[in-house]
Amino acid sequence: MITSLGNPKIQRVRALLAHTKDRREAQAFVVEGVRLAEEAQNANWPVELLLFTEDLVERGRAVVDAMRERGAEIVSVSPQVMRSISDTETPQGILVVLRKQTHILAEQLDFVFIPDGVRDPGNLGGMLRTAAAAGVRAVFLPPGTVDAYAPKVLRAGMGAHFRLPILELGWQEIKTRLEDNGLQIYLAVNHSGERYDQADLRCPLALIIGSEASGASLDAERLAEARLQIPMAGAVESLNAAAAAAVLLFEVVRQRGNQP
């Protein structure tokens, strides 16, 4: 059992939780809690290390046993150590270090989502969760968007990371991939766009939604071929970015007349 806060394994987990740079260099990230640990196990995600406390509930114990059978390094830690590294107020007693991997992309993409410059982790996580539920085939993350593997994004995503291809790409590569797949590129705007419920969204498409604070980037503006707006009542100017994503992504699902 690890009881020292200075243990190298504990220090590495802290670095992965705290710093985007460390996650990118190590090509690893950390999930915490029974639900996300189960999602990782169900997806057969590659595991580097699992830390747990002896008071872990039965559901969590089942994850520990399953990951041990897969050959993962399993280490018990004291409750004090778990509290010291936890990113939540009430740790559930399980934390897993996972290796980054990219889902295999479909040969032909027909539904791509691009959150442009979204800086709020909760918003991005909610968008990824919605994208997975709507059957999006890939998410492209352009420069200026918060790290998709930050702890708060992972929690808000509720397992979406294990179901969606999520790629960090520059705008030129995004442009090339969208053109190669023949996608119509739509940008969500507050004003001066076509009503979302009157546009024909049955074609293969990519949807870009900018941040609430600064809107779409110049790169997104240049790339977009059409603009969509969600009509607002009264003096309300816009929806929360995650709410707008839910409305627009599921309008695509509705128009295509199929289940995600």
Res 259: pLDDT: 56
> What distances in angstroms separate CA 117 from CA 21, 28, 120, one per listed residue?
18, 23, 9
| 195: its two tokens | 């009503």
Structural domains in the chain, CATH included, are 8-99 (3.30.1330.30), 111-256 (3.40.1280.10)
- For position 42, what pLDDT does the model report? 96
Sheet order of strands, 138-141 included: 166-168, 138-141, 111-116, 205-210, 184-188, 226-229, 194-195
Task: Say what the pLDDT of residue 239 is.
Answer: 79
Assigned token pair, 25: 């260099």
C-alpha closest to that of 33 among 120, 149, 151: 151
Task: For the chain of 260 residues, list the mean pLDDT of each consecutive stretch of 10.
Answer: 94 97 97 97 96 96 96 96 90 96 90 96 97 97 97 97 96 97 95 92 97 86 95 75 95 84
Tokens 């200075």 locate to: 6
The pLDDT of residue 75: 97
Which candidate, 86, 101, 89, 76, places its Cα nearest to that of 2? 76
**Predicted local confidence at residue 214, as pLDDT:** 76
Cβ(231)–Cβ(211) under 8 Å?
no
Rounded to whole angstroms, the Cα distance separating 123 from 162 reads 18
Instruction: Tell me phi and psi for residue 68, to 5 degrees.
Output: -65, -40
